[in-house]
Structure 1
Amino acid sequence: MNGYTGVSTLFIVAILAGCTAKSETKEESKSQAFPVIQLSHQNTTLDRDYAGNLEAVQNVEIRARIAGYLDKIMVDEGQSVRKGQLLFQLNAAEYQAEVAKAQASLESAIAQSKSVEVESERVKLLVDKNIISASESKLAKAKMESAKAAINEAKAALDNARLRVSMASIRAPFDGVINRIPFKRGSLIDEGTLLTTVSDLREMYAYFNVSEKEYLTSIKKRLDPNKTTMREVELLLADDTHYGHKGMVETTETIFEGNSGTIAFRARFPNPNHLLRHGATGKIRLTTDVDDALLVPQKAVFEVQDKNFVYVVDNRNRVKTRSFIPRSRVDQFYIVQSGLREGDRIIYEGIQNVKDGMTIVPKPLPSDSLKALYASAL
């Protein structure tokens, strides 16, 4: 009997202990507190980056217009030059000989013309005295016209010879910077040979492509209807650092490229320190104003099978997972497209310790912290 009583007593104690443990666990679950924010619409800005190619406003190939030996190289690679500055000198000896030959031909044509003129005057006197027929006068005039034509032809040949001599001196077409020089002194240069290129680096073009959807939904809204240009844009260099000067989008193509479905834009950036170079790459950052955006902090979101979820807290402080579709990201926030609405309360931090269906103690984020939180996305 005493043994039975002892067993019963232990059994009751165990039951009470289990109930107490369950009660404590339930109470502990109820007592867990998590920071909670209430979603509201905010005005924000959305940054979009596009791959861009940089080109000098002027980038011209310097080619030899005549053949010859390269006598002098007056500049070095990377050197700044001024418009009209002598860059290369080809040997012009044979072209100078052509000038002398053309000069001699001109002098001969002039002398021949004088001889024909004297003969024409003699014929005129004889015709006037009826010594010879009038047809001789016409023949003399024809010889005069032929002599004048020969002079004009000789002058053209001389001008052409002098022009070819001038082509031996190759000068800068504008202020710029010399690029690579592939030939050395003494090289035999053919007509049309590329000697170098000159780039005007004071300003740079940045070309980038935008999809048709983005053009219609966001970028087109920022176009100036009078000038078809946009506001300032930023440039991120290849190392993702911000370029120190902002640019302006000044023009766009009128046709979407068929295969990619994109349209090209061109922005102009100042380049006072010549940091940007022709052929470089970067990212063009366009900033779009978004009104009444519903922002969800990234740290409140978790992904399951490529879907985005948050923990929503109901009026009874119970937690329930809910999926939503983001429109895009801005800084550390998602802009909600669907699935969430203004006024929803979501767990802001500690989501790794939350389970669906549990009851929590919500700790609303202080108004100052909430303002600072959203301010980081504005």
Structure 2
Amino acid sequence: MMKLYLIVFLCAMIFLGCESKKEEKESTTKFLVTSPLKKDTTITRQYVCQIHSIQHIEIKALESGYLQKIYVDEGQKVKEGQPMFQIMPVSYKAEYQKAQAEVNFAEIEYKNTKLLADSNIVSKNELSMAKAKLDKAKAQADLARTHLNFTEIKAPFSGIMDRFHVRKGSLIEEGDLLTILSDNSTMWVYFNVPEAEYLDYKPISKDTSIKVNLEMANHKIFDYPGKIETIEADFNNETGNIAFRAAFPNPNGLLRHGETGNILMTVPIKNALIIPQKATYEVLDKKYVFVVDQNNILKSRKINILNEMPDLYVVDGITEKDKILLEGLRIVKEGDKINYKYLAPEKVIPNLNLHSE
């Protein structure tokens, strides 16, 4: 019986010794703790965008006939008024010459009638009819000259040629597509903004010089910033988005019609609560932090991510006075009592280089 008590006593001592060592280990482990930083800041939001030339039009034939000459080449820069295509003008020249001859005849007839009318040999009505006949001949000549001019197609503005849809010698009809001309001196970039974010932008949208940057498809930032010029009138009821348009100068011609990219818009946020991403953990797609209470006990607290920055979150659900666990989130659980070392957020945030664990 005495041996049994001795064994129980020894076991109890061993257990107490282990607990004492565990408590001693826990008491010597200090966790890093910090607080949210409250300050005015900016965030950069990203939107997929479509890039369009400021002018991008189809060049079509204005008259029927054989394509006699092509003065330009695909991809070539052309200036406003520069000849591009020539449709065989022979028949149109003949029509114009015929119309001009009728003008000459009607003009002679009018002059003769006027002499007779001045001598009271013919009535003023006959003079009026001769004048009307002359005006009609001039109008027909002007129309014939217009048709003749349409056989030479000139650039309506300076731009870059697209590929040809016809070749020299082709028989073309009025309205056939010849090529496309793009003015890439300025690019219009369209992107869609969700309703909630639009409401954030609206107070600053009165400033027509809101600057944005363009991230191109190769993930490089375009050299020239743009500015938001217009916002569409209506929301898309299916997507809940509204379209913005930004204009970008394109002096080197790097951007072309049809490209894609991302608009980067910097937005100011007042009194933002900022915490390190590494101070958060996730459960079922929801973000949490460990808050240390006045008794050094860990309490799990759900937070909402309002915006994301490199290594940082802008959140709500906590206050700037709360103390949150910064490291060791994977080795503790809710209800644990800890010893900690407090680091001010002004010292923690500038030195972050890791994402949340």
- TM-score norm. by structure 1 comes to 0.85
- The answer to whether the aligner puts 1:41 opposite 2:38 as a matched pair is yes
RMSD of aligned Cα (Å): 2.5
Mean alpha-carbon deviation: is it higher for 54-63 or for 260-269? 260-269
Residues 296-317 of structure 1, C-alpha deviations (whole Å, 9 max, x = no match): 2111111112221111122332
- Once residues 193 and 373 of structure 1 are traced to their aligned partners in structure 2, the CA distance between those partners, rounded to angstroms, is 64
Task: Quote the residue 1:305 is aligned against.
Answer: 284
- Once residues 328 and 77 of structure 2 are traced to their aligned partners in structure 1, the CA distance between those partners, rounded to angstroms, is 59
- The answer to whether the aligner puts 1:342 opposite 2:301 as a matched pair is no
Residue 123 to residue 317, structure 1, CA distance change in 2 (3 Å): closer
1:6 Cα shift? 5.8
Which residue identity does 2:132 align to in structure 1? A
Kept after mapping to 2: 8 A contact 1:222/1:230: no
Which residue identity does 1:24 align to in structure 2? K
Which residue identity does 1:178 align to in structure 2? M
Task: Quote the residue 1:242 is aligned against.
Answer: 221
Q: Which of the numbers 200, 218, 226 marks the counterpart of 2:183?
A: 200
- Helix, strand or coil at the partner of 2:69: strand
Q: Which of the numbers 122, 140, 146 marks the counterpart of 1:157?
A: 140
Which residue identity does 1:143 align to in structure 2? E
- Once residues 44 and 118 of structure 1 are traced to their aligned partners in structure 2, the CA distance between those partners, rounded to angstroms, is 89
Residues 258-312 of structure 1, C-alpha deviations (whole Å, 9 max, x = no match): 4444333221111112121112222222222111111121111111122211111
Task: Quote the residue 1:178 is aligned against.
Answer: 161
1:98 Cα shift? 0.8
Residues 185-219 of structure 1, C-alpha deviations (whole Å, 9 max, x = no match): 11111111121121111111112233333222x10
Summarize the alignment of residues 18-167 of structure 1 with structure 2, pairs less than 5 Å apart.
Answer: 18-117=15-114, 120=117, 124=121, 137-138=122-123, 141-167=124-150
Kept after mapping to 1: 8 A contact 2:37/2:345: no
Kept after mapping to 2: 8 A contact 1:102/1:158: yes
**% same residue:** 38
- Once residues 368 and 288 of structure 1 are traced to their aligned partners in structure 2, the CA distance between those partners, rounded to angstroms, is 22
- Once residues 263 and 51 of structure 1 are traced to their aligned partners in structure 2, the CA distance between those partners, rounded to angstroms, is 13
Task: Quote the residue 1:221 is aligned against.
Answer: 203
Residue 39 to residue 166, structure 1, CA distance change in 2 (3 Å): same
1:123 Cα shift? 6.3
Kept after mapping to 1: 8 A contact 2:160/2:183: yes
Task: Quote the residue 2:9 is aligned against.
Answer: 12
> Structure 1: any 5+ residue segments left out of the alignment?
125-136
1:121 Cα shift? 6.5
- Once residues 215 and 112 of structure 2 are traced to their aligned partners in structure 1, the CA distance between those partners, rounded to angstroms, is 77
- Once residues 273 and 62 of structure 1 are traced to their aligned partners in structure 2, the CA distance between those partners, rounded to angstroms, is 24
1:231 Cα shift? 1.9
- Once residues 133 and 249 of structure 2 are traced to their aligned partners in structure 1, the CA distance between those partners, rounded to angstroms, is 55
Task: Quote the residue 2:332 is aligned against.
Answer: 354
Task: Quote the residue 1:190 is aligned against.
Answer: 173
- Once residues 272 and 142 of structure 1 are traced to their aligned partners in structure 2, the CA distance between those partners, rounded to angstroms, is 64
- Helix, strand or coil at the partner of 1:66: coil
- Helix, strand or coil at the partner of 1:65: coil
- Helix, strand or coil at the partner of 1:182: coil
- TM-score norm. by structure 2 comes to 0.89
Kept after mapping to 2: 8 A contact 1:30/1:359: no
1:69 Cα shift? 1.0
Which aligned runs of 4 or more in structure 1 are off by greater than 6 angstroms? none
Q: Which of the numbers 263, 267, 278 marks the counterpart of 2:246?
A: 267
Task: Quote the residue 2:272 is aligned against.
Answer: 293
Q: Work out the number of aligned pairs and report it.
A: 354
Kept after mapping to 1: 8 A contact 2:311/2:352: no
Residue 121 to residue 229, structure 1, CA distance change in 2 (3 Å): closer
Kept after mapping to 1: 8 A contact 2:311/2:353: no
- Once residues 233 and 69 of structure 2 are traced to their aligned partners in structure 1, the CA distance between those partners, rounded to angstroms, is 46
Residues 72-126 of structure 1, C-alpha deviations (whole Å, 9 max, x = no match): 11212221111111111111111111112112222332343355456656762xx
- Once residues 138 and 84 of structure 2 are traced to their aligned partners in structure 1, the CA distance between those partners, rounded to angstroms, is 29
1:375 Cα shift? 12
- Helix, strand or coil at the partner of 1:94: helix
- Helix, strand or coil at the partner of 1:183: coil
